[in-house]
Amino acid sequence: MSPRRLFRIVAVSEAITWALLLTGMFLKYVTETTELGVRIGGMLHGVVFVAYVVTTVVVAIDAQWSLKRSALGLLAAVPPFFTIWFDVVSERQGALPERWRLTTGEPQGLLDRLVAWLVRKPLQGVAVGIVAVVALTGAALVVGPPTS
């Protein structure tokens, strides 16, 4: 899977889970009918938010994004639906490549070597990504929800 396609899938998924969470919040706080939407939408959004952060970091390292673009990519996950905007703008500006640079390119530092390993061994890379998302989500759950 190309960095462009991976980023798009995760960015759109993050926006969809934002919509689920906002719908759940509407049902809980406006119509006062159910809390279920916040419980389910909130958990899904939390997991996909973490996946978006991990994906953004990996793509930023591989595509050699500037610190400014990388920070903007990470911050795009905070306001609802901004990940889609960031994806579209980044693609228009040629910042989302069709191929992973580090599948064949020479890694230049520790982060490059780590990402090179992830993209050169896709099955292990996916497994490490899943473990990272689960571990970070678990840590977030231990810390507690944003309101506590």
What's the whole-model pTM score? 0.91
Instruction: Say how many domains are in the chain.
Output: 1
- Which pLDDT score, from 0 to 100, does residue 4 have? 97
In a domain, 92, yes or no: yes
pLDDT tens-place string over residues 62-111: 999 999 999 999 999 999 999 999 999 999 999 999 999 999 999 999 99
In a domain, 68, yes or no: yes
- Which pLDDT score, from 0 to 100, does residue 135 have? 93
CA neighbor of 84 nearest in space, from 25, 37, 18: 18
Indicate whether 148 pLDDT > 70.
no
pLDDT tens-place string over residues 7-32: 999 999 999 999 999 999 999 999 99
In a domain, 147, yes or no: no
In a domain, 84, yes or no: yes
Domain span at residue 9 reads: 3-142
Amino acid at 12: V
- Which pLDDT score, from 0 to 100, does residue 57 have? 97
